[in-house]
A and B are shown apart, each in its own frame.
Chain A
């Protein structure tokens, strides 16, 4: 067909529906009890406080800036533009534990560092989560039989997610972050009583 002789009147223009914030919420599946607000002629949605809080918490996890060894290099790679941890609302690595609610234990926890790591954890306000990253922080790793290395950071602080690897690649980090988000999603009495989705 000669492109110059196209009859433009025969082309149908389909108008795309604008995506509202409500649609986005519905797509995430987090707020399962979103009722058809458009039919109610207003943005009314029902949910449990738990769900809203959990959604808010998992959507803006702020990690504390602390790296102990080579895993911290992978942490930086995870935070940089290529893997872009900002997609999870956690690009802001806080320089103070008082503003953070997530701690990556990224690297070897030596006996001398252990009280400092514990102190950092204790300085973080509740609610707070810990991801233990790499063989060293999980179990001591290659230094398991060393005199100077703690055999797992869970000896001193509670750990929510363990990421294996030496060091784990950024993909593994992101998988671990997604696991933590799943965990936060199911926190609270709402999930226990079956009120959440």
Chain B
């Protein structure tokens, strides 16, 4: 049996639907059941959380978890659909350690908050960056520039007068 259907049998209340995404078993789940399903998925042998993706569809956010099992040679995709206002979902950093950085990346670029994350701050962009650039409503008309402060820290500002050539 494919692992997505196995999850649906174990957690019938939390799974919205099952299917396939590019030949990988896919389960769309409710965000309330994510943490306990994740623990079960880890027990099933999915030892590698390869990537977390956040997608902005304009009216909703989707968080996609791609799992891989080295022992079973299997893939599994979990998807959580979130509302567009204040998207928040449980952190998986307690189950897979790699989720720490992957969730920070998703937070950085898409702005999805992960509840219970040990250190939820930006990972790629400097701390003072305004907005989350992979969102559909990100303001591209304003250029943000980075300068280096006295202690080597990055300072973000919209005026690039001390960086650009006069």
A82-137 residues at the B interface, CB under 8 angstroms: 111-112, 114-116, 118-119
- Cα separation A158 to B144 with both chains bound (whole Å): 21
- Cα separation A115 to B165 with both chains bound (whole Å): 12
A193 at interface, CB cutoff 8 A: no
Contacts A112-B154, A148-B125 hold; do A119 and B148 have CB atoms under 8 A apart?
yes
Greatest chain A CB density within 10 A among B126, B140, B146 is at B146
Contacts A114-B145, A147-B138 hold; do A156 and B126 have CB atoms under 8 A apart?
no
A156 and B148 contact, CB distance less than 8 A: no
Taken residue by residue from 137 to 169, chain A's Cβ proximity to chain B (1 for < 8 Å, 0 otherwise) reads as 000000001011000001111100000000000
Nearest to A151 among chain B residues (CB) is B143
Contacts A112-B154, A147-B138 hold; do A156 and B146 have CB atoms under 8 A apart?
no
B148 and A115 contact, CB distance less than 8 A: yes
Q: How far is the CB of A121 from chain B (nearest CB, A)?
A: 11
A115 and B146 contact, CB distance less than 8 A: yes
Q: How far is the CB of B74 from chain A (nearest CB, A)?
A: 34
A156 and B125 contact, CB distance less than 8 A: no
B147 at interface, CB cutoff 8 A: yes
Q: How far is the CB of B54 from chain A (nearest CB, A)?
A: 16
Q: How far is the CB of B105 from chain A (nearest CB, A)?
A: 14
| Chain B contacts for A148, CB-based, 8 A | 125, 133
A155 and B165 contact, CB distance less than 8 A: yes
Greatest chain B CB density within 10 A among A115, A116, A154 is at A115
B163 at interface, CB cutoff 8 A: yes
Q: How far is the CB of A174 from chain B (nearest CB, A)?
A: 28
Contacts A111-B146, A116-B148, A119-B148 hold; do A147 and B140 have CB atoms under 8 A apart?
yes
Q: How far is the CB of B61 from chain A (nearest CB, A)?
A: 19
Contacts A147-B133, A148-B133 hold; do A115 and B163 have CB atoms under 8 A apart?
yes
| Chain A contacts for B147, CB-based, 8 A | 115
A118 and B163 contact, CB distance less than 8 A: yes
Nearest to B126 among chain A residues (CB) is A112
Greatest chain B CB density within 10 A among A111, A114, A118, A154 is at A111
- A115-B147, A115-B148, A148-B125 given; name 20 further pairs at CB < 8 Å: A111-B146, A112-B154, A114-B146, A114-B163, A115-B146, A115-B163, A118-B163, A119-B148, A145-B140, A147-B133, A147-B138, A147-B144, A148-B133, A154-B165, A155-B165, A156-B163, A156-B164, A156-B165, A157-B165, A158-B165
Top 5 closest A-B pairs, CB basis?
Answer: A147-B133, A115-B148, A111-B146, A112-B146, A115-B147
Q: Which residues of A contact B (CB under 8 A)?
A: 111-112, 114-116, 118-119, 145, 147-148, 154-158
Residue contacts A-B, CB under 8 angstroms, 24 given: A111-B144, A111-B146, A112-B125, A112-B126, A112-B146, A112-B154, A114-B145, A115-B146, A115-B147, A115-B163, A116-B148, A119-B148, A147-B133, A147-B138, A147-B144, A148-B125, A148-B133, A154-B165, A155-B164, A155-B165, A156-B163, A156-B165, A157-B165, A158-B165
